[in-house]
Structure 1
């Protein structure tokens, strides 16, 4: 089991240092000091290594703990409770970024996204921040949108840095100033924009 742990740690290091395409089984074996064929003794293929590494990161528990905080009293707080620990974690673990956005772990990522979206929906409904009966599809779309924003950000820079900060405040300001859209020649506030009448 020690060799298996060393192979996983080496794979994670290579992902962070050289990217997904360079962290091959051959490169992993060379760094560990064993033939590529020996890597297959411990893992059936590259996908198994990727899957185990993705599960190892336990990002779900980090987001869940942040979301459970008593400080989450508004939708804005809930967005921050999801974005901030995710952003921080991805910035500190480039290997996770490589797996999440460049790797072949689509099933694991999809399952994570679905589970997290449902957890967030449940918490928001329990706290009265969303109405009972909010369709799960609403949260799934919101979660997928957030996932894509992270992917775009981390594809642009290794740290995924936004111009202002990693907080959702850059995307969702707390003020209720008018939105830039116009209707009948005047600025429309957020609530009018949501009501097409």
Structure 2
């Protein structure tokens, strides 16, 4: 029986292979400026277009970085989305702290208005500031977004705030059922989102009014407070 010789290997295959270069520069851990650029670019794009309409490549292009860096710093797009809200969580904790500081017992006849102001004023002020304007728009767009990623954000960051508000309003409006207060809270959320995120007022007033005008915060507080008070009058 014939014995076949093993094939002679190609000499090129015996050369040591060059080490594969990483898509990320080894100096990247020393570039926090790029991390910040990605975070701010993602925040702006999500606010402008919504989560589903933004790709990782869009974010990298806006930030002026390689696409690989987005995943290097933040993981998947959904994780980056959550990081934005975690980064801005101070705005949420401020609202909770202000609500918890409101005296909601019978000794404070202005408890409903004080509570509504503590809940709404930080958002209205944020919308009018240069630093927080984009984030306020992002919150409004995320609240309107029916997608699972947006729903997860609302559940994680804003449902705890809602529970604090509802519990405090129950103390301010004793005898009003919890479910009715929750419904009224949802009405108030809708009004606040329109206040900070919609520009229709500018068309309807032919430019005499501007969206999210902080000067009208007290009008908003009185309007929403009156709605809550009607629950007790019935």
* Structure 1 residues without counterparts, runs of 5 or longer: 177-189
- Residues 28-67 of structure 1 aligned to structure 2 (within 5 Å): 28-58=59-89, 59-67=91-99
Confirm whether residue 96 of structure 1 aligns to residue 140 of structure 2: no
Residues 6 and 32 of structure 1 are in contact (CA less than 8 Å); yes or no, is this contact kept in structure 2? yes
* Structure 2 residues without counterparts, runs of 5 or longer: 1-28, 143-148, 200-209
Confirm whether residue 69 of structure 1 aligns to residue 69 of structure 2: no
3-state SS in 1 of match to 2:193: helix
- How far residue 53 of structure 1 moved from its aligned partner, in angstroms, is 0.7
Correspondence for 2:117: 80
Q: Measure the CA separation in 2 of the matches of 1:15 and 1:114.
A: 21
- TM-score of the pair, normalised by structure 1: 0.67
Residues 137 and 197 of structure 2 are in contact (CA less than 8 Å); yes or no, is this contact kept in structure 1? no
Q: Measure the CA separation in 2 of the matches of 1:152 and 1:170.
A: 14
Q: Measure the CA separation in 2 of the matches of 1:107 and 1:51.
A: 9
Q: Measure the CA separation in 1 of the matches of 2:137 and 2:190.
A: 14
Q: 1:153 aligns with which of 195, 200, 212?
A: 195
Q: 2:166 aligns with which of 111, 121, 125?
A: 121
Q: Measure the CA separation in 1 of the matches of 2:185 and 2:59.
A: 33
Residues 76 and 172 of structure 1 are in contact (CA less than 8 Å); yes or no, is this contact kept in structure 2? yes
- Residues 126-141 of structure 1 aligned to structure 2 (within 5 Å): 128-131=171-174, 134-135=177-178, 137-141=179-183
Q: Measure the CA separation in 1 of the matches of 2:196 and 2:166.
A: 26
Confirm whether residue 109 of structure 1 aligns to residue 166 of structure 2: no
Residues 84 and 166 of structure 1 are in contact (CA less than 8 Å); yes or no, is this contact kept in structure 2? yes
Q: 2:216 aligns with which of 165, 172, 182?
A: 165
Q: Which structure has greater strand proportion?
A: 1
3-state SS in 1 of match to 2:173: coil
- How far residue 61 of structure 1 moved from its aligned partner, in angstroms, is 0.9
Q: Measure the CA separation in 2 of the matches of 1:98 and 1:48.
A: 19
- TM-score of the pair, normalised by structure 2: 0.59
RMSD of aligned alpha carbons? 3.5
Structure-2 change in CA distance of 1:121 and 1:15 (3 Å) = closer
Structure-2 change in CA distance of 1:65 and 1:44 (3 Å) = same
